[in-house]
């Protein structure tokens, strides 16, 4: 890495470290809110997904007209319409949209769980294979839990899972930033990913 670029990045990180820490804490607070009020968070996620699908569909339809090959135009156009239609469906029918997202989440956890269990037996000679197996069983348990509670779980499970993810993502970011701040205070070297810096 260029030394000037590295120093510029370090100076920028040092100058804005307080804002980054505040951002990490804000993510955790948002996650905690989603955990304590999962119903609100679930519908918020569903509406954001609807907006994302609708916007993506519009972009794909517009992009379709740039293709000169009719076959590519057709597929891009049809896929764009499907994205847009699903987005409008999520926005217009939030209850049905939440149910659809929850069912998709249950299928996702089932597929991930099966894959993890297969992978656990594949790496079975490894001393850590049991943790992979346990993780797969937990994923399948989550899938079964979601399915067994439908349609009631649809009202809160998406928001709860998003909230837990936000809390742990924010916590991980906060721990990294606090370690960087300590390194700055002690004028020690620190590493982020594969890059190491001298403060």
CA angle 77, 80, 85 (to 5 degrees): 125
Residue with tokens 């850590």: 128
When pLDDT is cut at 50, 70 and 90, the band that residue 47 belongs to is very high
How does pLDDT run across 151-188, given as a tens digit for each residue? 888 889 888 888 888 888 888 888 878 888 887 777 76
State the sign of the Cα–Cα–Cα–Cα dihedral 46, 47, 51, 52. Answer: negative
Question: Would you give the DSSP letter of residue 124?
Answer: T
Other CB atoms within a 10 A radius of the CB of residue 106 amount to 22
Q: Output the DSSP codes for 159-183.
A: HHHHHHHHHHHHHHHHHHHHHHHHH
Q: Domain of residue 73: give its range.
A: 3-198
Give all strands (DSSP E) within the chain, no chain letters: 189-192, 195-198
Per the structure, how many domains does the chain have?
1
Residue 187, SS3 per DSSP: coil
Which pLDDT belongs to residue 18?
85
How does pLDDT run across 5-23, given as a tens digit for each residue? 445 566 777 777 888 899 9
């Amino acid at each position: 890495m260029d030394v000037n670029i590295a120093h510029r990045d370090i100076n920028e990180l040092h100058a804005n470290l307080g804002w980054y820490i505040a951002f990490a804490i804000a993510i955790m607070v948002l996650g905690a809110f989603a955990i304590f009020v999962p119903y609100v968070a679930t519908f918020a996620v569903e509406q954001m997904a609807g907006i994302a699908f609708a916007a993506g569909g519009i972009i794909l339809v517009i992009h379709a007209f740039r293709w000169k090959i009719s076959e590519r135009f057709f597929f891009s156009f049809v896929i764009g319409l499907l994205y847009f239609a699903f987005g409008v469906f999520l926005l217009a029918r939030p209850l049905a949209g939440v149910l659809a997202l929850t069912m998709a989440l249950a299928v996702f956890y089932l597929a991930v769980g099966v894959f993890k269990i297969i992978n656990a037996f594949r790496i079975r000679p490894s001393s850590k294979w049991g943790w992979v197996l346990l993780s797969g069983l937990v994923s399948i348990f989550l899938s079964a839990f979601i399915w067994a509670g439908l349609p009631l779980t649809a009202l809160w499970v998406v928001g709860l899972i998003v909230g837990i993810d936000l809390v742990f993502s924010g916590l991980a970011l906060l721990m990294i930033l606090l370690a960087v701040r300590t390194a700055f205070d002690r004028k020690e070297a620190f590493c982020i990913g594969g890059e190491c810096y001298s403060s």
